[in-house]
């Protein structure tokens, strides 16, 4: 009986001592404990009072250093989550920790933390901090087609990378770094990181000159993120085509070189659709168009919106062979102007094609007019001539010349765009039954361009 009472008394004292903290607490977890796969804990914010100090193992969620058996709680996950970590200088320091690798605390550092295998391998990104908060790198690796996350393997070697990746030296901004790269070389077409801790889909982007399409990397049964399922961007072939879901696409550059859409959808070249001209897009980058005039249509007012608005009537023709023919004239006019004709000379700075204009002089921007008269003469005729040349609608520059050609001589007079001049020649200036030609032409160079009406009065 005394032995039993003594035993009960000793057990009671031990329990009281333990509750009072006089006995040693549970020993530090052994390496076997640390080697167990990390299990993400429940939400800490709502269970703060349920976490005994120093109870969290390496790889488990935490909020404060005191939560962890190592005294180190760090935000080392790509989503910013904090977990318990331990320090390391090589992969050997993390060898007893399942699915953990030694990641440098910053690029080039020889100090690191043992962290869980990474979820951000080949994830789409635009900034380093989207890949993690330590030594992770976001850039377009040599041979790849877009920016992606690459995990630093300088301390852990191959242990930092999935089996279908290699720890490779890569030139990055002029410096060599060791980073995990997929053996295929193209991140978007390779399996991504591990999704054993974070299984939510990752957004991924495919981009090229045609635009950008978004998709997802989904968590596969083997706990890896799948290849990016975003389609490769394709140019839109018309301005009315809508973007497919998840894509922002560019218009095919060939479409934006058309006269209907010069440099931008809806930016039509001025003068499009008119019958007196032809337009083309010559500089899409600056939305600049060009215009040519059809035949004897002229852009006198320099306004492409109304095309080549002035038509120079034909006849007269612009060559000797196509000269306008006036009725035959005899010499019995006794000094009066027996005949007259009125036409126009147009000038502009455009090219004239479809059809081209014979004898068009690009320096002056005009073509000459030819008119032919058969001079029949007659018995006792002097075969002399007198010519009056009048212009209207032009400027004060002496630009317009009238020349008479006979079988015996030629003579010219010049006047402004609004003036009158005369010329004459006496007996024997032509032979009876010969052809007399009048040639009216603009002789001053561009940039003077105008529409001038002229009248020639004459007797033979």
| pLDDT of the residue at 304 | 97
Q: Give the pLDDT of the chain (460 residues) as one tens digit per residue.
A: 333 333 333 344 334 333 333 333 333 333 334 334 444 444 444 444 567 888 999 999 999 999 999 999 999 888 778 999 999 999 999 999 999 999 999 999 999 999 999 999 999 999 999 999 999 999 999 999 999 999 999 999 999 999 999 999 999 888 899 999 999 999 999 999 999 888 899 999 999 999 999 999 999 999 999 999 999 999 999 999 999 999 999 999 999 999 999 999 999 999 999 999 999 999 999 999 999 999 999 999 999 999 999 999 989 999 999 999 999 998 876 656 789 999 999 999 999 999 999 999 999 999 999 999 999 988 888 999 999 999 999 999 999 999 999 999 999 999 999 999 999 999 999 999 999 999 999 999 999 999 999 999 999 9
Do the domain assignments include residue 76?
A: no
How many domains does the structure of the chain reveal?
1
- Is residue 448 one of the residues assigned to a domain? yes
For residue 441, being part of any structural domain is answered with yes
Considering the domain boundaries, does residue 252 fall inside one? no
**Exposed (0-12), middle (13-18) or buried (19+): which is 179, by Cβ within 10 Å?**
buried
Residue 235 lies inside a defined structural domain of this protein = no
pLDDT of residue 186: 96
Residue 32: the pLDDT is: 34
Is residue 53 included in any domain, yes or no?
Answer: no
CATH number of domain containing 420: 2.60.120
Residue 173 has a pLDDT of 85
User: Is 303 contained in some domain?
Assistant: no
Do the domain assignments include residue 284? Answer: no
Are 74 and 83 in contact by the 8 Å Cβ rule? The answer is yes
pTM: 0.68
Domain that holds residue 395: 310-459
């Amino acid at each position: 009986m005394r032995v039993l009472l003594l035993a009960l008394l000793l057990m009671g004292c031990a329990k009281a001592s333990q509750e009072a903290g006089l006995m040693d607490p549970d020993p530090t977890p052994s390496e076997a404990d640390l080697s167990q796969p990390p299990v993400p804990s429940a939400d800490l914010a709502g269970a703060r009072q349920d976490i005994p100090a120093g109870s969290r193992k390496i790889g488990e969620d935490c909020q404060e250093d005191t939560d962890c058996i190592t005294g180190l709680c760090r935000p080392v996950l790509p989503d910013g989550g904090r977990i318990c970590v331990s320090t390391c200088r090589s992969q050997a320091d993390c060898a007893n920790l399942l699915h953990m690798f030694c990641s440098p605390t910053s690029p080039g550092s020889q100090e690191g933390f043992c962290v869980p295998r990474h979820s951000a391998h080949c994830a789409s990104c635009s900034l380093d901090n989207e890949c993690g908060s330590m030594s992770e790198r976001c850039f377009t690796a040599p041979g790849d087609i877009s920016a992606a996350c690459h995990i630093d393997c300088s301390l852990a070697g191959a242990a930092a990378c999935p089996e279908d990746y290699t720890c490779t030296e890569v030139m990055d901004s002029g410096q060599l770094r060791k980073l995990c790269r997929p053996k295929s070389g193209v991140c978007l077409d390779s399996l991504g990181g591990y999704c054993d801790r974070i299984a939510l889909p990752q957004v991924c982007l495919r981009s090229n000159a045609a635009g950008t399409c978004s998709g997802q990397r989904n968590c596969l049964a083997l706990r890896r993120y799948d290849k990016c399922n975003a389609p490769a961007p394709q140019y839109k072939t018309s301005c009315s085509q809508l973007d497919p879901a998840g894509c922002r696409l560019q218009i095919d550059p060939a479409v934006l070189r058309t006269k209907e859409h010069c440099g931008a959808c809806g930016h039509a070249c001025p003068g499009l659709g008119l019958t007196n001209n032809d337009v083309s897009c010559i500089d899409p980058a600056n939305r600049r168009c060009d215009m040519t005039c059809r035949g004897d249509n002229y852009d006198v007012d320099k306004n492409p919106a109304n095309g080549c608005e002035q038509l120079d009537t034909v006849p007269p023709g612009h060559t000797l062979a196509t000269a306008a023919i006036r009725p035959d004239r005899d010499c019995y006019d006794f000094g009066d102007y027996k005949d007259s004709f009125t036409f126009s000379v147009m000038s502009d700075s455009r090219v004239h094609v479809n059809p081209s204009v014979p004898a068009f002089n690009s320096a002056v921007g005009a073509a000459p007019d030819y008119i032919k008269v058969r001079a029949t003469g007659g018995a006792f005729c002097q075969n002399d001539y007198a010519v009056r040349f009048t212009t209207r609608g032009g400027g004060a520059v002496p630009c317009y010349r009238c020349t008479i050609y006979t079988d015996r001589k030629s003579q010219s007079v010049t006047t402004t765009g609004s003036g009158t001049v005369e010329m004459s020649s006496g007996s024997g200036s032509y032979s009876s039954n010969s052809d007399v030609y009048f040639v009216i032409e603009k002789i001053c160079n561009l940039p003077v361009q105008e529409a001038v009406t002229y009248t020639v009065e004459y007797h033979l």
